[in-house]
Amino acid sequence: MFGSQGVIHRDVKPSNVLVDRAGRAKLTDFGVARLLEGEGRRFTRTGAALGSLRFAAPELLDDAKRAGPAVDQFGLAATVYYALTRDFPYGGKTAVNLMNAMVAGRSTPASARRPDVPAEMSLVLAKALAPEPEARFASMSDLGLALQAFAGGP
């Protein structure tokens, strides 16, 4: 996606994904995006509110300045998870409960919420939803390749 092109979107969520008539997904709303090179090359001001909590990677909530390309993997995985299950990977009735579940990595496998989701896809999503960026895929391209195996859908 964008990390390989020097941009971190930082707000990947369902409402920012549009599908064209040919069925291609397009990411919109770069209001909180930033360029990878240099702190001075931001699209948004420092301290700007970032994304929707249920789709935001834990490191965005902790320190947005240290957020790298892996935040977009987390947002995409949470978006795909929601599209498949109509539910969120992490539970929590309050923002604090939700953040604690995210940091602890206590997500519910997509296949547990919807049995026709292949267990292998649940594993792909779980990897991209890992609380630590280093535990996610090496790149957004790698996540994309892993998801392509399921392009036919459940």
Give me the active site residues, please. 11
The Cα–Cα gap between 40 and 19 comes to: 32
Which amino acid is located at 67 in the chain? A
- Is residue 8 a contact partner of residue 1, using CB atoms and an 8 Å limit? no
Q: How far is CA 59 from CA 41, 129, 134, 136, in A?
A: 20, 12, 11, 13
Report residue 119 as tokens.
């267990």
Q: Are strands 34-35 and 25-27 parallel, antiparallel or unpaired?
A: unpaired
> How many Å from the N-terminal Cα to the C-terminal Cα in the chain?
23
